[in-house]
Structure 1
Amino acid sequence: MTRVLQTVLLLSCSAAAMAGTPSIPTELTPPARARLVLKTHATGAQVYTCKAADDGKFQWVLQAPDAQLHDRKGAVIGQHFAGPTWKHKDGSQVIAKAAAHVDSPDAASVPWLLLAATGHTGEGVFSKVSSIQRINTKGGKPSATVQCDRSKEGTQIRSPYAADYYFYAGG
């Protein structure tokens, strides 16, 4: 993704989304005693591979996210990658799996998620994270203009996206 596109995504999403608490669907509510420990804004891509499904039809299958996590000032404080995994610059990591999802209000964007932590490494900000919300998504779905068929089998595409991630501990 070009630096200009990253900057546009960062500026268009982070200022409004991180300025206040958005209206989050109840399906994505973390456990009652969980406390918010970090808000980040991610910019990057969702990476897809063209594969045949069990029925023989070809489709784009999510391989992994590839994004940078930014603080309120736009500084990079971590990465988001396969697992799904989030790694903070302090060395701590959290791995999670989806627990709930709600379609994004923007039909062209990947769903909003509630994720439950399944593992941790290192000591730091992410070492106690129990739940993660992905909200305010922009983009990230595979391109409708790039067809996935037998001739493209194994081909990867990168779909630019941005999202806010809220990290919770406890609960």
Structure 2
Amino acid sequence: MKSTHNTLWAYSKSAAVTLAMVTGTAALMAACSGVKPPPKEYTQERQDDQIQVPPGNVVALETTATGLVNYECKANAGSIGWVLVRMQAELVDRTGKQVATYSGPPAVWTHIDGSNVMGQQVAMAPRPGATNLNYQLLKGTPGAGAGVLQNVTYIQRIKTKGGQDLSKACTQTDSGDKLTLPYQADYIFWKAA
């Protein structure tokens, strides 16, 4: 009788624990169902007004770029300073696969499928951190090749890191000096909906 009583006690205890776990999980799921997930990085609510993509466009491709920014110390508009000469980068998609390259100026992105797009700056937004490139909105002009970048309307550069530490001296005696800085940024490509 004692063994039957212990067996019944163990089964009822196990059933009570299972019921509590199921009930607790259901209550937790019900509570969480009303909570919206945080907005994705590229949603316009998270961007500065000046670099928001106009309504009627949807994300076509999200990438992260790692590359170099090359400057030269030279006269520009009556004063001497660091002038952007060239940028180049490799772009990977959200899975980490390299999908495109970037070079500029002029700003051109080329996808591995052969499609490309040229970007014309529309606006810039303040960057977080003095040594990071500005956030940027560019109007897209697609090239002739068919593919992912074929109908891109806008390109956003966000989440920048590096690329603009111009604290190295650039005076008349430094004219002609070169400066190469690493940078990282997310480039988000948009198409008409």
TM-score exceeds 0.5? yes
Equivalent in the alignment of 1:16: none
Distance in 2 between residues matched to 1:118 and 1:167, nearest whole Å = 12
Equivalent in the alignment of 2:126: 103
Asked whether 1:39 is paired with 2:39, we answer: no
Counterpart among 81, 89, 96 of residue 112 in structure 2: 89
Distance 1:142 1:48, change over 3 A: farther
Distance in 1 between residues matched to 2:40 and 2:54, nearest whole Å = 21
Equivalent in the alignment of 1:73: 95
User: Secondary structure of 2:150's match?
Assistant: helix
* Larger RCO (CA under 8 A, 6+ residues apart): 1
Equivalent in the alignment of 1:113: 136
Preserved contact between residue 78 and residue 86 of structure 1 (Cα < 8 Å)? yes
In the TM superposition, residue 80 of structure 1 has moved relative to its aligned partner by 0.7
Q: Name the % identity.
A: 33
Output the aligned Cα RMSD.
1.8
Equivalent in the alignment of 2:164: 141
Q: Give ranges in structure 1 of 5+ residues lacking alignment.
A: 1-18
Distance 1:54 1:89, change over 3 A: same
Distance in 1 between residues matched to 2:59 and 2:95, nearest whole Å = 18
Preserved contact between residue 132 and residue 165 of structure 2 (Cα < 8 Å)? no
Preserved contact between residue 46 and residue 160 of structure 1 (Cα < 8 Å)? yes
Distance in 2 between residues matched to 1:76 and 1:133, nearest whole Å = 18
Asked whether 1:154 is paired with 2:146, we answer: no
Distance in 2 between residues matched to 1:163 and 1:96, nearest whole Å = 15
Please identify runs of 4+ aligned residues in structure 1 that moved more than 3 A.
none
Counterpart among 144, 147, 150 of residue 124 in structure 1: 147
In the TM superposition, residue 119 of structure 1 has moved relative to its aligned partner by 4.3
Q: Which has the larger radius of gyration?
A: 2
User: Secondary structure of 1:101's match?
Assistant: strand
Give the partner amino acid of 2:41.
Answer: T
Counterpart among 33, 36, 60 of residue 82 in structure 2: 60
- How many residue pairs match? The answer is 151
Equivalent in the alignment of 1:20: 40
Name whichever structure is richer in helix by fraction: 2
Q: Give ranges in structure 2 of 5+ residues lacking alignment.
A: 1-38
Structure 1 residues 110-162: Cα deviation after superposition (integer angstroms, max 9, x where no partner): 10011001342311111100100000000110431x22223332332211110
Preserved contact between residue 48 and residue 142 of structure 1 (Cα < 8 Å)? no
